[in-house]
Amino acid sequence: IIILNHYRQKYTKKLIRDSKFYNKTSIYDDFTEFLYEKFLLNEKIINKSEYIVTWVPSHFIKKIKRWYNWSQILAKNFSKISWIKYIPNILKKVKNTSQQSDLNRQQRLVNLKWAYIFNNKFKNKINWKNIIILDDVVSTWTTINELSFLLKDNHAKKIIWLIIASD
């Protein structure tokens, strides 16, 4: 897990909120470049074909409300600058959950239980690959744990999380 900054830092929090809730998605271009630089410092890539970039899916109702998924924007940007293959929809969110930031740790665990599924049509594409997942904020690690379990259960070799900020 590679994390750029702490969420409580004034400007980090403001930039994430602006991009997430005020449609200033261009902010993610800069975040992606910083994540890529940090990724290269931590991961020694020998063969890019051993890696896949994907994102944390949102439920279709939330995507309709916002018109975009910030994690997807990060993943697409990261794929472009890294030249690592981007595969969307490896994971699906099938449960319309409450906003995680509004819940305590125990509620978050229950909220995300069975919220995601693995898309079986990608089973052979992720076998023994290193999966890179990008997201904006991590606090209780519930999403990371849920999605990592699904990917490992479907034979992902390694899961690398690139996160803008931790809470």
For the cut 90, the answer to whether the pLDDT of residue 35 exceeds it is yes
Contacts made by residues 119-128, CB under 8 angstroms, sequence distance 24+: 119/89, 119/90, 119/91, 119/92, 122/87, 122/89, 122/90, 123/154, 123/155, 125/52, 125/87, 125/90, 126/52, 126/87, 126/90, 126/151, 126/154, 126/155, 126/156, 127/155, 128/155, 128/156, 128/157
Task: State the pLDDT at residue 27.
Answer: 86
Give the residue with greater pLDDT, 98 vs 49.
Answer: 49
Tell me the average pLDDT of the chain: 88
pTM of the shown model:
0.88
Task: State the pLDDT at residue 84.
Answer: 97
